[in-house]
Amino acid sequence: MGEERSEQWHLMQRNIVLLFLIRTSHWFFLVMPVIIPFYHACGLSVAEIMTLQAGFSAATLFLEIPSGYFSDVWGRRRTLIVGSLISSVGWAIYCFSSGFWPFLLAEVVMGIGQSFVSGTDSALLYDSLQVLRKEEEYTLYEGRVSSAGNFSEALAGMIGGYLAFVSLYMPFYGQAVVSLVGLFSSFFLTEPPVSLFRYPSFPEVWKVVKDTVFRDKRLSLRIWFSSLVGSATLTMAWMAQSCFLYIHLPMKIWGGAVNLYSILWTLLNLFVGLAALKAYQADRYFGGKNFLC
């Protein structure tokens, strides 16, 4: 019995390490520092670029609730495998495409993949901590995982910028390879015992959604607030490079040796990563309500 518990403890600890790796691979965006110049080089307008992101967001939003249901029924591990596989297909489409409609297809496919991964990784983290009897430290671990993701995106920004010097498609080739890291890591996850006994019916899930979004005012306000802040920051991130182009900010500086867009993108993610790392301490110091204010 003691050996079984010890093995289970090690498997849950391994889950946490693998989730760090999965989150890092999903946030290791080699393409982001040069994504807008890439779109412009392919002849896309700003309106078409934002339409692509709307397609991604719509696919993610449409399947967010069903994917949560699948996570409960299929299990966290299987759902993460499916989501990672679909995301890899989306990046592969980008590698062999040029033009608005193929890019839109890739974004929708990746949005579907993201809907399966989003939330499931956090649920698996919580379930693993629950087995380890550390669920009260979830915010701490989630902050660390998010911070690791942001730091990986900062590093990817520098690497992606130099890959773009070879070809604007090179970051996409690299991104397709990186996506496989998350996929392979998902296969080594272990389903926590606490998540194996949850088989809610879809009407039960829908009731929880209605109660959460419309009836529980405190929780509903937090959800809408989080959505608003997330939408605003995402819009800023996507418009930043368009603004760089609009003010004629050069992408290459110092004789073409440095990608300025990569530097700016890296600095942005370093600040976000540091904030995520300290979020747990700030929340405990100020309290949840004051911290949000």
How many separate domains does the chain show?
1
pLDDT in tens, 213-242: 677 777 777 767 776 776 677 677 667 766
Q: What is the reported pTM? A: 0.77
Q: Does residue 76 carry a pLDDT above 80?
A: yes
Q: Measured between alpha carbons, how far is residue 280 from residues 134, 225, 284 in Å?
A: 15, 19, 6
For helices 2-27 and 138-166, the axis angle rounded to 10 degrees is 40
pLDDT in tens, 241-271: 667 767 777 666 655 545 676 677 677 767 7
pLDDT in tens, 98-131: 899 999 999 999 999 988 998 888 889 888 888 8
CA distance 255 to 224: 46
Domain assignment of residue 231, given as a range? 2-292
pLDDT in tens, 78-104: 999 999 999 999 999 999 998 999 999
CATH, residue 49: 1.20.1250.20
Q: What is the percent of the chain where pLDDT is above 70?
A: 74
Angle at the Cα of 111 from the Cα atoms of 34 and 187, rounded to 5 degrees: 100
pLDDT in tens, 10-39: 888 999 999 988 988 888 888 887 888 899
